[in-house]
Structure 1
Amino acid sequence: KTVEMLYGGKTVTKYNQLGKEYPIILQADIKNRKNNDSLGKIFVRSDDTGKLISLANLVEFKEEGSAKILARYNRQRAVTISARLVGDYTLSEAIVFLKKTVRENIPKAGIEWKGKSEELQEASNEMFIIFALALLTAYLVMCAMFNSFIHPAVIMLTVPLSVLGGIIFLLLFNNSINIFSQIALVILIGISTKNSILIVDWANQLRRAGKNIQSAVLEACRLRFRAIIMTSLSTMIAMVPLIVGNIGPGAGEGSRMAVGATIFGGMLISTFFTLYVTPTMYILLTKNTKRIDAVDLELSKQLKK
């Protein structure tokens, strides 16, 4: 109570003058309250002996800092952090750094984003949904075109390869996965499956002509090899200016590099592995299926009868 009264103050009575009341506050002088050493000079009376004893003989003083204001968000203590990006760092890199720092130092703390950071987080979450919808839409369209669920599945196997290639090249160019690279990954769904479509469609035509599965797919790879290489090479060459033109800092450098590196790497990896993965999976998944023209052959037999 003594320390509380001297440093916090206590109203002991009120003074009345001309009909107005003024509180009389008992408190230590402001000069002593600002000096931490004054705490040890405060005397309190002992309950046992009745003598006055200084606080310096009873307690140990330790100085610690505390916030003047304890802000709250959703009924929980919160701290607002505002920062400005400097150098060549992007907002995505700053968010990743902040998440890592909080996870390592304050594992139980949560983060609520505001401003541009919040918009970027929401856009990133939406891009994952868009990516999934793009995959589903492409698969369903090809199911309708090929009149099969197996052939589109063979074609869609090139998508993970293109995504892997895009991410690898992003890391090689010291770039991060941001909104621009995510858009490029969605674009890769369309342009990377094109090569597999050429092989699968031509193999189906050869099977209708009477060839077996293995001969048809190998012949399709041989016949469509030049078309696959030329279309893929033209796409990769078109991405070179986006990559080479961003070696030095400049306006829009991060966005152009993200798009260029993602599409270039995705097409390079997917083109190389498509010539191996697509024929192999085509043979494995279709070896137990009926001939492409099985219905037409059966109908012809019935008509001849």
Structure 2
Amino acid sequence: MAQRQRQVAERILQVPAVQSLTTFVGVDGANPTLNSARLQINLKPLDARDDRVQQVISRLQTAVATIPGVALYLQPTQDLTIDTQVSRTQYQFTLQATTLDALSHWVPKLQNALQSLPQLSEVSSDWQDRGLAAWVNVDRDSASRLGISMADVDNALYNAFGQRLISTIYTQANQYRVVLEHNTASTPGLAALETIRLTSRDGGTVPLSAIARIEQRFAPLSINHLDQFPVTTFSFNVPEGYSLGDAVQAILDTEKTLALPADITTQFQGSTLAFQAALGSTVWLIVAAVVAMYIVLGVLYESFIHPITILSTLPTAGVGALLALIIAGSELDIIAIIGIILLIGIVKKNAIMMIDFALAAEREQGMSPRDAIFQACLLRFRPILMTTLAALLGALPLMLSTGVGAELRRPLGIAMVGGLLVSQVLTLFTTPVIYLLFDRLSLYVKSRFPRHKEEV
């Protein structure tokens, strides 16, 4: 494994965009088996290379693809990560079963189904069941005739392969532990088990092969557990042209197609699980914000209708943000949703400035609703334009940024710029129209259902 890792490292260092790398081989917190290795690749600064991270990943995969017996999985390190484990790719999906046999039966089926989905790329799993294991089947009758118990067999195997500590050598500068082990240099493989000697009842020794049958079988290299049940983790990336939402929905549809039994459960992990939770809570968050604004505006203007006029500006901001994201080819991720939530407060003030002036003109100057909202549009146009431009110019650096981590901040700027532009153009026309429509609706309701004053 170390030799193949050196080959991979040499190929990676030949890519011009790579500055340095650090390699890890063997079992540790990230590598559960001996046939796995981990590399941390440091790229040159953005101004010193021409390729983006995803382009560099494609070049690295092409460079290592010709090395036999090696599968390379790459993922960019995010500025903001919520993954609790190191995986081969960016997103994780777990399959959990009550028994190991059920898990080994469904893992290949689900992996083959996921690898055929166009919404997923580089699908892999940590399930490796082709490891070699030696099975010792003891003939208890033969062992009993010789006076050998199962505990004697266990002790003999542990003495040979369990690294039993039998002594400690102390020196003036250090101490050394003496570990007992079987000499496998002369008898490698399964023959080493057959030559293990056991003490019989009469004091003689017999080989293990006299009372046991030794077989070589395939076994998992490692078995991971989640909530005390065996589990395997599928890792995948999302190819260009698809979003994480498309990949999640494709996986859920595949589950329904395979008709997994009741003792098999699946769950997204890491950033994919956070994505699902965010989508489920974001809708309720926006609804709660709109309801809270309606209550506050209703108390402020002592009206049930005018808060709706003010809130009517929010759809234009949302449409503008979504159109900007589509035109820029950006995904509707968590950062973009934060930008849309920010637009709710910024865009709403345009209607507040007009409605507040129009209501004051009606009550204090006796203007008609048409003249009042017309005068409000004329006098409040400059403050509305100035505040919108201030917010717009503040969001432009986020949208046009090209430095390190710009991919994380860019959707926020795109959503804010698109929403502000569209809302600025449309709300100056739609808000007066909606104001007059609701005023006529209010007059119609009052004429249809007049209030009768009681005489005292």
Name the counterpart of 1:223.
Answer: 379
The answer to whether the 8 Å contact 1:154/1:281 transfers is yes
Structure 1 segments, 4+ long, off by >4 Å, are: 11-16, 21-27, 67-74, 76-79, 103-106, 108-111
Match of 1:19 in 2: 147
Please report how far the alpha carbon of residue 195 of structure 1 lies from its aligned counterpart in structure 2 after TM superposition: 0.7
Specify whether residues 21 and 78 from structure 1 end up closer, same or farther in structure 2 by C-alpha distance, changes over 3 A only.
closer
Alignment of 1:101 with 2:250, yes or no, is yes
Alignment of 1:82-101 (within 5 A): 82-83=235-236, 93=243, 95-101=244-250
Residue 251 of structure 1 deviates from its aligned partner by 3.0
* CA displacement at 1:68 relative to structure 2: 11
C-alpha contact 1:127 1:183 (8 A) present in aligned 2: no
Which protein shows a greater Rg?
1
Which residue in the other structure is 2:429 paired with? 276
From 279, 283, 304, the equivalent of 1:149 is 304
Q: Does 1:289 align with 2:442?
A: yes
**Residue 195 of structure 1 is aligned with which of 327, 335, 350?**
350
Greater fraction of residues in helix: 1
Identity %: 27
Q: SS at the partner of 1:176?
A: coil
Q: Deviations over 1:13-36 (max 9, x none)?
A: 857532348998999x98xx99xx
Pair 1:176–1:289, CA change in 2 (3 A): same
More displaced 10-residue stretch of structure 1: 117-126 or 165-174: 117-126
User: SS state of the match for residue 211, structure 1?
Assistant: coil
TM-score with structure 1 setting the length: 0.65
The 10-residue stretch of structure 1 (115-124 or 250-259) with the greater mean CA deviation from structure 2: 115-124
Change over 3 Å in CA distance of 1:252–1:124 after alignment to 2: farther
Partner Cα separation in structure 2 for residue 112 and residue 15 of structure 1: 48
Distance change (3 Å), C-alpha of 1:171 and 1:130: same
Instruction: Render the CA deviation track for 1:273-301: whole Å, top value 9, x for unaligned.
Output: 101211111111112436xxxxxxxxxxx
Q: 2:338 aligns with which of 183, 198, 201?
A: 183
Offset at residue 149 of structure 1 (A)? 1.4
- Structure-2 change in CA distance of 1:235 and 1:15 (3 Å): closer
CA distance in 1, matches of 2:322, 2:440: 33
Where in structure 2 are the equivalents of 1:50-199 lying within 5 Å? 80-83=233-236, 93=243, 95-103=244-252, 105-107=254-256, 111-199=266-354
> Secondary structure at the residue paired with 2:268?
coil
CA separation of 1:21 and 1:191: change in aligned 2, threshold 3 A: closer
- Please provide the CA RMSD for this pair: 3.8
- Provide the aligned length of Structure 1 versus Structure 2: 242
Residues 26 and 234 from structure 1, CA distance in 2 versus in 1: closer, same or farther, beyond 3 angstroms?
closer
1:244 corresponds to which letter in structure 2?
L
In structure 2, relative to structure 1, the CA distance for the partners of 1:225 and 1:259 (3 Å cut) is same
String of CA shifts for 1:26-68, please: whole Å, max 9, x gaps: 99x98xx99xxxxxxxxxxxxxxxxxxxxxxxxxxxxxxxx99
Structure 1 residues 169 and 118, CA gap change in structure 2 (3 angstroms): same
Q: Distance in 1 between matches of 2:404 and 2:272?
A: 20
SS in 2 for 1:112: strand
Q: Which moved more, 1:17-26 or 1:200-209?
A: 17-26
Gaps of 5+ in 1: 1-8, 35-66, 291-305
Residue aligning to 1:255: 408
Please give the alpha-carbon distance, in whole angstroms, between the structure 2 residues aligned to 1:225 and 1:111: 55
Secondary structure of the equivalent of 1:287? helix
Displacement after TM superposition at 1:175 (Å): 1.4
Cα displacement string for residues 130-172 of structure 1 (whole angstroms, at most 9, x for unaligned residues): 2222212211111111111111110001111111111111122
With over 3 angstroms needed to count, the CA separation of the structure-2 counterparts of 1:77 and 1:173, relative to structure 1, is farther
Q: 1:172 to 1:151 in 2, by over 3 A?
A: same
Tell me the secondary structure at the aligned position of residue 338 of structure 2: helix
